[in-house]
Amino acid sequence: MRERTFPRSLFPCIALLAFAPACNRAGGAASPRISSIPLQTTPGGTTFTLDLSAYVTDDTKTATYAVTSGGGSFSGSTYSRTFPTLGTYTVGFKATDFRGNSTSGSFQVKVTSAEIALVRNGTGVSYYDVQTGNLTSVLQDDGRTKTHKASLTDGCSVFEVDVTGQKDLYLYDPNEQEVLTIAQDSSKSEVYLGKTSDGKILFQAGSSPARSLHLYDTTNGGLSKVTASTGGARDERDGIVNSADLVFFESAENGLADIYYFDIANNKTVAVSTHARDEDLVTALPDGAVLFRRKGDGGEWDLFYFKAGVGVVEVGADLDGSSPFTESKTYAGRTSDSRVVFSTTDGSDTDLYIWNPGTGQTSTIANSVANESLAGITATDLIVYKIQTGSSNADLSYYNPSTNGSTTVANSSDDETYDGSLSNGDIVFTRNTGGNGKDLYWFDVSAGSANVFSGANTTSTDYLFAKVLANDKIVYTVGASIYLYDTTGPTATSISTAAGTESFAGETGGGDFVISLSTGGQNDLYLWDESASAAVAITTNTGDEVFKKGTTHGPILFTRKDSGATTSDLYVWDPSSKKVTRITTNSVEDGVDTVFEATVSN
């Protein structure tokens, strides 16, 4: 059983499936008889209906139905209700025939999905169900700092709660409407590290040099220790959960750390590397491998790749040649197929390489006398890198792992900065011309050419990049105005709201995004509706509005601070009805930490 603290009973307790035997007879007719009703399920935000005539036997054929507990209503024999949010609800009802003979029964309905916004109210936390508008208090505003660490697919959330500098871990389960203790020890801090695909929580307890690692099972509240120790105390730390749900960690003694992993499925610990020199975990890769580093013979840091079933392989070992390679290797990034981008330095010059775990081969991205560094990796796995040719002049190129070749993106005498990429790999960058302002460009990978945004190089006004949207259109600002650039034209669209200074506030989905308009000492919000090709006012109230989060189902969450007020409240705007609804009242700087989809198995 899971340890339960702070129990919350926001809804009627779940009762056993109940039905009453026939107990009254009038004129030979028995009271309605109710058979067992199985557990019902429904997705959140929808109207649940159930025709009870299939479960009620009425000799008079005249039964009427009424709700006795649990909310909802009947139309004839059909019950209906939109339930508030995740959870299992008990509905009590009564069936009565025309003679007045009645029988009571009940059934349970489990809400299996929801879109949840995690709302902060001072130091308190609440769940806001985006589809139903239900606000459920989760953690009280008691002065303790509460940090949201993870949301699980079943709707549960993990929180670190700071108690005078010491952290405890809690889990809120909306399906049971209760807060559960993961770890609470007044003598040590418990820190969240990660989660497995089935919701087990990895955390670290204690402080150096006596840390320990633990797994908490959210399904049953079970707690297990992750350790490589067979006796003496070790400092076990910095756990990483990989894509195969193996827990990798460092286990140190006398200041030197070794690398292990814990196989949850088989309940065993396996040594990865127990070299005499110090080793540190670096990151997990998409293919289930991890990277770690180790001090080399010359004091440099070397990189190593490990995958269960493959073993330990040195990254970039083929750079050594006939003599030891003494430059430190530093992880820089990775591609979607787990190729490792790393830099090397001798203390005065930095070069860039890529290593393929499939072949064990290293390829040079760039190793000129200038310093090269990773700028970004596109959606198509092109490696964009910066070449620092001067103190205020950086050029951009990209390396294609498929062709093992580099292409120049921009190499002017001005400073170029990578901004982002489109889904086809095209690159967006800024050229800082100094006194002539900042200009925006996009590099067409298929054509091999750079294209300046319309008008960008004809004025000293800065063209400032904001975001590449999911539909590959680019949001940017020029002076006080906001624009949308479409590379397929290419076309630039000026977005008109009202007098004031426009800025990008955040993307909501489907090409839509929120615009913040600063005017007359206040901020208003507008939505760029991509389908209508128009900006729609969200709120132009006299208070200051700040966009917080968009949602999958459409509503937009924002805060408003009224003129002269010191606190903000949370509001929601429904794009279909254009209606603004206040969620919180007289709160302390409300905000939204995250919005997530929850799905509970039936």
Q: What is the pLDDT of residue 287?
A: 96
Q: What is the pLDDT of residue 6?
A: 41
Q: What is the mean pLDDT of residues 579-592?
A: 83
To which residue do tokens 């070449």 refer?
A: 387
How far is the C-alpha of 147 from the C-alpha of 159, rounded, in Å?
5
Residue 402 to residues 83, 236, 335, 372, 381: CA-CA distances in angstroms? 52, 40, 12, 20, 9
Strand, helix or coil at 226? strand
Lowest mean pLDDT among 4-8, 414-418, 510-514: 4-8
State both tokens at 520.
């007359």
Q: What is the pLDDT of residue 7?
A: 40
Read off the amino acid at residue 537.
A
Instruction: Using the CB atoms, write b or e for 235-265: b if 16+ within 10 Å.
Output: bbbbbbbbebbbbbbbbbeeeebbbbbbebe
Query: Where residue 382 falls among pLDDT bands split at 50, 70, 90?
Result: very high
Examine the pLDDT at 588 and tell me if it is beyond 70. Answer: no
Q: What is the mean pLDDT of residues 556-571?
A: 88
Strand, helix or coil at 164? coil
How far is the C-alpha of 90 from the C-alpha of 521, rounded, in Å?
51
Q: What is the pLDDT of residue 296?
A: 87
Superfamily of domain 4-111 in the CATH hierarchy = Immunoglobulins (2.60.40.10)
Q: What is the pLDDT of residue 537?
A: 97
State both tokens at 68.
């006795």
Q: What is the pLDDT of residue 60?
A: 87
Examine the pLDDT at 230 and tell me if it is beyond 60. Answer: yes
In tens, the pLDDT along 27-79 reads 556 899 999 999 999 999 999 999 999 999 999 899 999 999 999 999 999 99
Beta bridge partners of 190: 205
* pTM, to two decimals: 0.89
pLDDT above 90: percentage of residues in the chain? 81
Instruction: State the sign of the Cα–Cα–Cα–Cα dihedral 82, 87, 88, 91.
Output: negative
Ramachandran class of 433: left when φ > 0, alpha when ψ lies in -120 to 50, beta otherwise: alpha
Examine the pLDDT at 239 and tell me if it is beyond 60. Answer: yes
Q: What is the mean pLDDT of residues 525-530?
A: 97
Examine the pLDDT at 299 and tell me if it is beyond 90. Answer: no
Examine the pLDDT at 9 and tell me if it is beyond 50. Answer: no
> Do residues 328 and 369 make contact, with C-beta atoms less than 8 angstroms apart?
no
**Burial (CB count within 10 angstroms: exposed 0-12, middle 13-18, buried 19+), residue 546:** middle
Examine the pLDDT at 519 and tell me if it is beyond 70. Answer: yes
Q: What is the pLDDT of residue 188?
A: 93
Q: What is the mean pLDDT of residues 108-124?
A: 94
Examine the pLDDT at 356 and tell me if it is beyond 70. Answer: yes
Examine the pLDDT at 2 and tell me if it is beyond 90. Answer: no
Q: What is the pLDDT of residue 321?
A: 62
Query: Where residue 542 falls among pLDDT bands split at 50, 70, 90?
Result: confident
- Pick among 1.10.150.120, 3.40.50.720, 3.40.1350.10, 2.120.10.30: CATH of 147-274: 2.120.10.30
How far is the C-alpha of 116 from the C-alpha of 111, rounded, in Å?
13
pLDDT above 70: percentage of residues in the chain? 93
Parallel/antiparallel/unpaired status of strands 102-111 and 40-42: parallel
Q: What is the pLDDT of residue 602?
A: 67
Q: What is the pLDDT of residue 4?
A: 44
CA 271-326-280 angle, 5° bins: 30
Examine the pLDDT at 18 and tell me if it is beyond 50. Answer: no
Q: What is the pLDDT of residue 449?
A: 97
Instruction: Using the CB atoms, write b or e for 548-581: b if 16+ within 10 Å.
Output: bbbbebbbbbbbbbeeeeeebbbbbbebeeeebe
How far is the C-alpha of 325 from the C-alpha of 355, rounded, in Å?
16
State the first-to-last Cα distance of the chain, in angstroms, to the nearest integer: 21
Query: Where residue 26 falls among pLDDT bands split at 50, 70, 90?
Result: very low
Beta bridge partners of 80: 49, 73
In tens, the pLDDT along 163-211 reads 888 999 999 999 988 999 999 999 999 999 999 999 999 999 999 999 9
Same fold, 4-111 and 147-274: no
Could you state, in order of their start, the residue ranges of all structural domains in the chain?
4-111, 147-274
State both tokens at 162.
């700071």
Examine the pLDDT at 126 and tell me if it is beyond 50. Answer: yes
In tens, the pLDDT along 262-298 reads 999 999 999 999 999 999 999 999 999 999 999 988 8
Show the 3-state SS of 382-408.
CEEEEEEEECCEEEEEEEECCCCEEEE
> Do residues 168 and 180 make contact, with C-beta atoms less than 8 angstroms apart?
no
Residue 107 to residues 14, 37, 38, 75: CA-CA distances in angstroms? 9, 6, 7, 17
Residues 6 or more apart from 28 whose CB is under 8 A from it? none
Q: What is the mean pLDDT of residues 407-420?
A: 96
